[in-house]
Structure 1
């Protein structure tokens, strides 16, 4: 009789061990290791969570357990592991997840193969397009004025464009930030017209970060 009781006890202990093992595995599977805000669309936001693209509406939760609490034109408020955090396009990586040793930005190509993103130039938001053929960051005169750049002391130069030779100015930008990557004292060229229509992110910035293509994505990494 005691032998039968012992066998039942062993069975109970084995069953309990299986239940406990399953219980402790659940949190490991549901904790996201990497959450990145990629775009904001009205009341929805696009994230990359553990390498998966997730378009979430306000109040919805991803399969990985990340909830979009609310969203504005400037940031997305998410909840993860019972904690809330704001993510913006300037600071898109969730800080409470595993951090990479260096800041990194991943860019998807558009239908024409161009890589575009949002930069913060001297603290102001500017749409930019990566252009490895541009010597420096290139922006048009209206954009320079909207950023409050003082061209009165800028060095005048002439540049050749698709529309011919025109007046331009060489200036230094205090800072250029993309995602978590910030570069200070960046050379830029201001053209005296409305060209280029989109600010070009040239080599005065790109040469100061590590850049590589991977599975169609363009990866930018800070050097320090």
Structure 2
């Protein structure tokens, strides 16, 4: 009985040690992906399992699907951190701040990727004219308006975007504004999107969570 108890304890300890607590996607290299697992760098090929028990199920140029403790999660470079193995009921994106404390990510608009900067001070998503043109936005149907910018008053256009997708979060009918010059240099992810998701700052990260 004593030997059986010791064997059970060893198996329990092995099981606990194999369950990774913190999994972060760092980079994607073809059919391999670099992770930081419990503070250790691990390069995994598709189908391989780390010593901590994290298996790389599949990988694309944009995301990596991993299996952790029997649960499958999809990580991307814009949402690189795995949840702590609780069932995720709503899509969630976690963004790390840059050296200036700004949060940036990539959005899908009109089927194209657009770098965006989170800006809670912006009323709506804000594009410069070249970006709007590259996205194929129809300014002929947009509503002309005047906005106040850091450079003074400027002419702009108000329009509706069919959808804006960030990670697994997709919001339809999002208001946007287009300025008639090269400002802003990077598209601003303003409150027309942010007000329709739940936001929370946690451990230096900005969490965006879908509401429905």
Using the size of structure 2 for normalisation, the TM-score is 0.78
2:181 maps to what in 1?
193
Q: RMSD between aligned alpha carbons?
A: 3.3
Counterpart of 1:147?
135
Q: Is the 8 A contact 1:91 1:180 kept in 2?
A: no
Q: Is the 8 A contact 1:105 1:178 kept in 2?
A: yes
Pick the structure with greater CA Rg: 1
Partner of 1:126: 114
Q: Contact 1:168 / 1:190 at 8 angstroms: preserved in 2? A: yes
Distance 1:47 1:139, change over 3 A: farther
TM-score, with normalisation over the residues of structure 1? 0.74
Residues 45 and 76 in structure 1, CA contact (< 8 A), matched pair in contact too: yes
1:165 aligned onto 2:163: no
2:100 maps to what in 1?
A: 112
Task: Describe the SS at the equivalent of 1:18.
Answer: helix
- Alpha-carbon distance change, 146 to 198 in structure 1, aligned in 2, over 3 angstroms: same
Alpha-carbon contact 2:78-2:94 (below 8 Å) kept: no
Task: Identify the match of residue 40 of structure 1 among 14, 27, 33.
Answer: 27
8 Å contact from structure 1 (residues 33, 98) kept in 2: no
Q: 1:215 Cα deviation (Å)?
A: 2.5
Give the C-alpha shift of residue 207 in structure 1. Answer: 0.8
Q: Could you tell me how far 1:66 is from its partner in structure 2?
A: 2.1
Q: What is the aligned partner in structure 1 of residue 165 from structure 2?
A: 177
Does 1:27 pair with 2:15? yes
Which of these residues, 53, 57, 65, is aligned with residue 43 of structure 2?
57
Residue 221 (structure 1) shift: 1.6
Structure 1 residue 124: deviation in Å? 2.1
> Aligned-pair distance for 1:186?
0.4
